[in-house]
């Protein structure tokens, strides 16, 4: 796997030089189109490098037989509850399942072998029928390949003939997984146990999570996204679980639930659940399922109310109706936040259930965005699917991009379009500034094994994918873009695509979309534009945090440089107004200082998004040593008079890097003092609301939460006291008067300032509340204590699924690692328990723990980790962490003195 990252590194170096001019003219185009200066003709860019044609990959199915439809029987003998009563022998729970599958195949190339996928199963009784002659063909053998191909090979005596229709029958037996992959087991409590040892409240359910390559663990199938087929499913499950509680020996009665055939679809979208869940009566084809308790308490109401609106928005936008039923289900366990299975979208409970008065507004916004993301997939991904996982961004980038449009439309109060910059652009910028980044579209040959496929689910795919699409929409104009999307969806309905199909559909206008987009999708990185206002020169080069390359390509000078300028007032200029481009901007020092002067004296003179982006650019340019770190720090001065969220959010994200680098050093004291000064005005702005545990009328403003967070964590006494006393009040009179929006931040700050008593109280509440959002606030807050022994015990709890659910393990470890008191503990912990942790989507854990690494010793440990542990799909993540650590070490070495002196000067 590391071969891949090395590969892309060498390529990157070559491409950087070859393609700078391409990027240059591209940016010119973007800017020029924006300001409609069509008179300026951009020089035609050279053709993009040709993606090398992959050799026939060994891990891919041969396309000699194609599945047309499946009939799947799955028999699941699991009991959803085990009732133990006196005098009654309770049944033994069973975690096995079995079934059979019949696939109808069309032969397109003569062959004596059929390749499909199967994993972790016993497969037997293979039978092949010729459907035309109704004759049985003799199967000589079947072989399960015990390697990463996960092939099941069926060998026949006689060849299948081109044009023939065949059916392949296989019986299988497997075990329900306990690690959230494939067909997995989940358990939860319904009600409160009367006694500690009372097991009657435990409920079991099974559900599936297939993406990307786990359908093969449930039944043998042609498990590739382009192998679309119809699925006919029958589940055989226990008839009536209440019969069990009545001790009825009728527990051998089975219920057959037969489902209508699906649309033609990719195997990874296959899904089912067997549970006791129920739904509210709502629109017949739109249902939200959850634990009966949660449904009765009305926690599905918000999802119910918003889903229809989102669906409606998409139907209009895409001009294609959604024709089947849509169930959404809130699951106690699920590895991803949500999964877009066609017609049965699964969510983590927390990501779908909303309780009025207990959940925060932030939470509501998250639910809306996530539903919008998953519903967008019903078109992008489900109806039209990428040909192969190397272009996963066609699914995920799109769903991400569309979710902002949809939520903006159905819940404008969330102001989602403003958040795009901070959420997606920032995240993409960050991931894409390292040489170990990867292009949006990788060569298919580099994405073959299940691990390599898993690696594609990263920030580049999600965030850069969305940013690049937004940029295209900005260049073409939103309505032209939308028209192209309609054409694309209609043209490739129920089919598979690659990026060129999209560019073709978008090329109705006058722009050569393919040329425009190739550089953004086939190469890593993004440019930084340098504007020199003295000489009028403009340069651009690839932006890298480790900036050693000297190559600078001049793309304009003198007169033409003026065309770059979008905003000019008096003496300064500002480029990339409203941050529509995927690039950073650097200026000569004089212009920087004039901009910063403007922003301090007349903040309204700079557009809001740019007030944030200037900070972000300054800090990142400083990290790449293109400007001095004191310039970056100077860009935070104006915050003492800023109450808008976006500039603060950018400042917080960027200063977070300083926190991570310095919170274990002498720099931290002066830095905290400075930040305390800066945030005081913001804190006071909300003080009346906060002290009374209320929120301002515009509830979506996250500034108040950020104000409390920054004020308390930088030691503003009145903030810490406020948090402590609010929490104390809850502990003493047992009613929680803290506003839902503020709970997460106040719990955390109170626990950080408190000790064992506060921690035990929070832990007790955490275990006993049935409210998902409350649980979530508490789970995070428990990681905020500064007491090392409490953090250590909390880490141990993550090994016990009865204490911390499997799907929450990585978030608990991540929160502990973020706390400087817990960082070293967490790093030791994941290495000591790697077998357990690595199964649990541990990518974020690694990223989070290692982002603080900034010493040669830590680098050494990380390198040892990368060579001695079995990293599987995480190897690219670790490779990236190593590069990041090297960058950190150098940065700290070079900037520590300056930073310390800057903060000391500011506070004196
Ligand atoms: C699935 O159902 C459809 C519609 O009833 C039918 O045409 C098809 O043959 C079935 N597929 C299999 C493999 O039985
Ligand atoms: C259990 O069985 C015993 C003897 O067979 C009987 O006396 C007792 O009432 C039973 N208890 C219940 C709860 O049925
Ligand atoms: C449960 O399993 C045990 C041991 O395998 C067996 O003795 C017992 O009869 C089983 N109980 C039921 C209800 O099947
Ligand atoms: C497949 O499984 C179903 C359900 O258990 C069963 O009714 C059917 O007979 C099986 N088919 C074959 C060919 O064994
Ligand atoms: C930037 O955004 C603001 C607020 O949305 C808008 O009023 C302004 O016209 C935009 N400016 C440009 C140049 O797009
Ligand atoms: C930062 O601000 C200070 C004080 O205004 C100024 O002296 C210094 O030159 C600035 N640094 C840079 C790099 O602009
Ligand atoms: C903060 O901004 C307001 C409004 O722009 C202005 O009236 C005030 O003087 C500024 N305060 C400081 C300390 O710069
Ligand atoms: C930066 O890149 C150069 C060459 O690509 C490499 O030799 C050096 O080790 C890197 N430095 C850091 C801090 O990663
Ligand atoms: Zn998605």
Sign of CA dihedral 227, 228, 233, 237: positive
Strand-strand pairing, 202-209 and 273-274: antiparallel
Residue 36 has pLDDT above 60, yes or no: no
- Euclidean distance between CA atoms 747 and 727, whole angstroms: 7
Sign of CA dihedral 155, 157, 161, 164: negative
Q: Are residues 490 and 589 in the same domain?
A: no
- Residue 184 inside a domain? The answer is yes
75 among the known binding-site residues? no
Q: Which CATH number fits the domain that encloses residue 31?
A: 2.60.40.1730
Q: Are residues 432 and 494 in the same domain?
A: yes
- The per-residue pLDDT for 202 is 81
Residue 324 has pLDDT above 90, yes or no: no
- Euclidean distance between CA atoms 353 and 349, whole angstroms: 6
Domain termination site, one of 245, 276, 307: 276
- Euclidean distance between CA atoms 148 and 453, whole angstroms: 11
Domain termination site, one of 276, 308, 339: 276
Residue 9 has pLDDT above 70, yes or no: no
The region of weakest confidence among 96-105, 476-485, 506-515, 584-593 is: 506-515
Q: Looking at the CA of 381, which ligand is closest?
A: 9
Provide the whole-model pTM.
0.83
- Euclidean distance between CA atoms 334 and 341, whole angstroms: 13
Picking from 422, 319, 327, the residue whose alpha carbon sits closest to that of residue 365 is 422
Paired tokens of 307: 């889903």
Pocket of ligand 8 (CB under 6 A): 546, 548, 883, 886-887, 890
Q: Are residues 484 and 556 in the same domain?
A: no
Q: Whose CA is nearest to atom 13 of ligand 6?
A: 631
Contact by Cβ (8 Å): 533, 573: yes
- Ligand 8 atom with least separation from CA of 883: 14
Q: Are residues 547 and 497 in the same domain?
A: no
Residue 518 has pLDDT above 90, yes or no: no
Q: Are residues 430 and 566 in the same domain?
A: no
- Residue 115 inside a domain? The answer is yes
Q: Are residues 386 and 399 in the same domain?
A: yes
Q: Are residues 516 and 568 in the same domain?
A: no
pLDDT per position as a tens digit, 826-878: 999 999 999 888 877 777 889 889 999 999 999 999 999 999 988 887 888 89
Q: Are residues 40 and 157 in the same domain?
A: yes
Q: Are residues 133 and 187 in the same domain?
A: yes
How many angstroms does the Cα of residue 357 sit away from the middle of ligand 5? Answer: 35
Residue-range definition of the domain harbouring residue 584: 526-610
- The per-residue pLDDT for 812 is 95
Q: How high does pLDDT run on average in the chain? A: 84
- The per-residue pLDDT for 201 is 76
- Residue 581 inside a domain? The answer is yes
- Residue 457 inside a domain? The answer is yes
- The per-residue pLDDT for 54 is 38
Taking only Cα atoms into account, the Rg of the chain, rounded to an integer number of angstroms, comes to 29
- Residue 362 inside a domain? The answer is no
pLDDT per position as a tens digit, 764-796: 999 988 777 888 899 999 999 999 999 999 999
Provide the annotated active-site residues.
Answer: 374
The region of weakest confidence among 79-88, 117-126, 187-196, 349-358 is: 79-88
Mean pLDDT (whole number) for 177-205: 80
Domain termination site, one of 231, 251, 276: 276
377 among the known binding-site residues? yes
Contact by Cβ (8 Å): 4, 876: yes
For the Cβ of 548 lying below 6 angstroms from any atom of ligand 3, the answer is: no
- Ligand 6 atom with least separation from CA of 589: 14
Strand arrangement of the beta sheet that strand 202-209 belongs to: 182-189, 202-209, 273-274
- Residue 400 inside a domain? The answer is yes
- Residue 688 inside a domain? The answer is no
- The per-residue pLDDT for 188 is 86
Taking phi over 0 as left and psi of -120 to 50 as alpha, with beta for the rest, 744 belongs to: alpha
Residue 338 has pLDDT above 60, yes or no: yes
Helix, strand, or coil (residue 565): coil
How many angstroms does the Cα of residue 550 sit away from the middle of ligand 8? Answer: 13
- Residue 141 inside a domain? The answer is yes
Q: Are residues 6 and 139 in the same domain?
A: yes
396 among the known binding-site residues? yes
Alpha helices in 297-378 (DSSP H): 301-318, 361-377
For the Cβ of 579 lying below 6 angstroms from any atom of ligand 5, the answer is: no
Q: Which CATH number fits the domain that encloses residue 561?
A: 2.60.40
Q: Are residues 163 and 131 in the same domain?
A: yes
- The per-residue pLDDT for 850 is 94
Beta strands in 319-414, from DSSP E residues, in sequence order: 326-331, 338-339, 344-348, 385-386
Instruction: Read off the pLDDT band of 461 (50, 70, 90).
Output: very high
Instruction: Read off the pLDDT band of 588 (50, 70, 90).
Output: very high
How many angstroms does the Cα of residue 527 sit away from the middle of ligand 5? Answer: 23
Paired tokens of 116: 């499909």
Paired tokens of 571: 């003496």
- Euclidean distance between CA atoms 212 and 539, whole angstroms: 42
Q: Which CATH number fits the domain that encloses residue 446?
A: 1.10.390.10
Instruction: Read off the pLDDT band of 497 (50, 70, 90).
Output: very high
Inter-axis angle of helices 740-753 and 361-377, to 10 degrees?
120
Alpha helices in 492-588 (DSSP H): 499-506, 513-522
Domains: count for the chain? 3
- Euclidean distance between CA atoms 874 and 237, whole angstroms: 37
Pocket of ligand 1 (CB under 6 A): 69-71, 102, 104, 230, 232, 261
Picking from 402, 444, 436, the residue whose alpha carbon sits closest to that of residue 310 is 402
Q: Are residues 184 and 247 in the same domain?
A: yes
């Amino acid at each position: 796997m590391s071969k891949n990252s090395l590969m892309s590194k060498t390529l990157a170096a070559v491409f950087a030089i070859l393609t700078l001019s391409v990027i240059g003219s591209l940016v010119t185009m973007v800017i020029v189109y924006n300001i409609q200066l069509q008179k300026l003709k951009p020089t035609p860019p050279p053709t993009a490098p040709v993606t090398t044609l992959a050799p026939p990959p060994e891990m891919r199915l041969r396309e000699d037989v194609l599945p047309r439809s499946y009939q799947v029987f799955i028999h699941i003998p699991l009991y959803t509850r085990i009732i133990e009563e006196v005098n009654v022998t309770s049944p033994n729970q069973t975690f096995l399942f079995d079934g059979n599958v019949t696939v109808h195949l069309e032969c397109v190339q003569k062959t004596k072998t059929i390749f499909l996928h199967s994993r972790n199963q016993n497969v037997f009784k293979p039978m092949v029928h010729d459907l035309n002659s109704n004759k049985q063909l003799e199967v000589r053998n079947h072989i399960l390949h015990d390697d990463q191909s996960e092939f099941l090979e069926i060998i026949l005596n006689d060849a299948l003939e081109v044009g023939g229709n065949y059916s392949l029958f296989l019986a299988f037996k497997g075990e329900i997984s306990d690690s959230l992959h494939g067909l997995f087991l989940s358990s939860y409590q319904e009600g409160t146990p009367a006694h500690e040892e009372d097991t009657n409240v435990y409920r079991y359910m099974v559900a599936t999570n297939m993406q990307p390559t786990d359908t093969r663990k449930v039944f043998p199938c042609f498990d590739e996204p382009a192998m679309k087929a119809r699925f006919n499913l029958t589940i055989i499950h226990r008839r009536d679980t209440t019969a069990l509680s009545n001790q009825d020996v009728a527990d051998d009665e089975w219920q057959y639930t037969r489902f209508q055939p699906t649309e033609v679809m990719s195997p990874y979208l296959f899904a089912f659940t067997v549970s006791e869940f129920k739904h509210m009566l709502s629109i017949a084809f739109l249902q939200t399922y959850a634990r009966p308790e949660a449904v009765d308490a009305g926690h599905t109401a918000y999802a119910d109310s918003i889903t229809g609106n989102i669906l409606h928005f998409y139907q209009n936008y895409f001009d294609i109706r959604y024709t089947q039923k849509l169930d959404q289900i809130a699951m106690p366990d699920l590895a991803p936040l949500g999964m877009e299975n066609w017609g049965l979208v699964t969510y983590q409970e927390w990501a779908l259930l909303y309780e009025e008065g207990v959940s925060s507004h932030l939470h509501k916004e998250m639910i809306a965005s996530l539903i919008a993301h998953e519903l967008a997939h019903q078109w992008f991904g489900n109806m039209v699917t990428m040909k192969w996982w190397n272009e996963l961004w066609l699914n995920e980038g799109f769903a991400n991009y569309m979710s902002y449009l949809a939520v903006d439309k159905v819940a404008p109060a969330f102001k989602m379009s403003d958040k795009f910059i901070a959420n997606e652009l920032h995240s993409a910028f960050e991931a894409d500034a390292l040489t170990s980044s990867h292009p949006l579209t990788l060569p298919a040959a580099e994405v073959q094994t299940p691990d390599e496929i898993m690696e594609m689910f990263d920030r580049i795919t999600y965030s850069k994918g969305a940013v690049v699409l937004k940029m295209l929409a900005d260049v073409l104009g939103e309505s032209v873009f939308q028209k192209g999307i309609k054409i694309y969806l209609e043209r490739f309905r129920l089919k598979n695509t690659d990026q060129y199909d999209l560019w073709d559909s978008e090329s109705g206008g006058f722009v050569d979309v393919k040329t425009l987009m190739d550089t953004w999708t086939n190469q890593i990185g993004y440019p930084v534009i340098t504007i020199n206002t003295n000489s009028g020169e403009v340069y651009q080069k690839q932006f890298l945090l480790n900036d050693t390359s000297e190559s600078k390509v001049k793309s304009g000078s003198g007169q033409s440089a003026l065309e770059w300028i979008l905003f000019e007032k008096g003496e300064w200029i500002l480029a990339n107004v409203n941050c529509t481009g995927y690039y950073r901007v650097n200026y000569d020092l004089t212009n920087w200082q004039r901009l910063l002067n403007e922003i301090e004296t007349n903040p309204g003179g700079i557009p809001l998004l740019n007030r944030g982006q200037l900070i972000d650019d300054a800090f990142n340019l400083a990290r790449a040593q293109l400007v001095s770190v004191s310039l970056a720090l100077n860009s935070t001065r104006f915050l003492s008079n800023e109450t808008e969220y976006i500039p603060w959010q950018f400042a917080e994200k960027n200063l977070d890097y300083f926190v991570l680098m310095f919170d274990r050093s002498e720099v931290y004291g002066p830095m905290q003092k400075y930040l305390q000064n800066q945030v005081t005005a913001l804190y006071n702005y909300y003080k009346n609301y906060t002290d009374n545990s209320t929120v301002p009328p515009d509830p979506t403003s996250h500034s108040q939460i950020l104000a409390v967070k920054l004020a308390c964590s930088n030691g503003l006494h009145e903030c810490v006291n406020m948090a402590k006393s609010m929490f104390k009040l809850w502990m003493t009179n047992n009613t929680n008067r803290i506003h839902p929006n503020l709970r997460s931040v106040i719990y955390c700050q109170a626990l950080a300032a408190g000790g064992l008593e506060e921690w035990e109280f929070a832990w007790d509440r955490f275990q006993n509340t049935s409210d998902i959002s409350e649980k979530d606030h508490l789970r995070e807050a428990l990681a905020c204590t500064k007491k090392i022994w409490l953090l250590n015990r909390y880490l141990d709890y993550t090994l016990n699924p009865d204490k911390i659910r499997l799907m929450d393990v990585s978030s608990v470890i991540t929160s502990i690692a973020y706390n400087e008191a817990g960082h070293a503990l967490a790093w030791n912990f994941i290495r000591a328990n790697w077998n357990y942790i690595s199964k649990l989507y541990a990518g974020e854990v690694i990223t989070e723990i290692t982002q603080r690494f900034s010493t040669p010793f830590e680098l050494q440990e990380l390198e040892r980790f990368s060579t001695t542990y079995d990293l599987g799909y995480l190897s690219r993540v670790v490779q990236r962490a190593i590069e990041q650590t090297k960058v950190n070490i150098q940065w700290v070495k070079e900037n520590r003195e300056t930073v310390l002196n800057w903060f000391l000067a500011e506070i004196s």
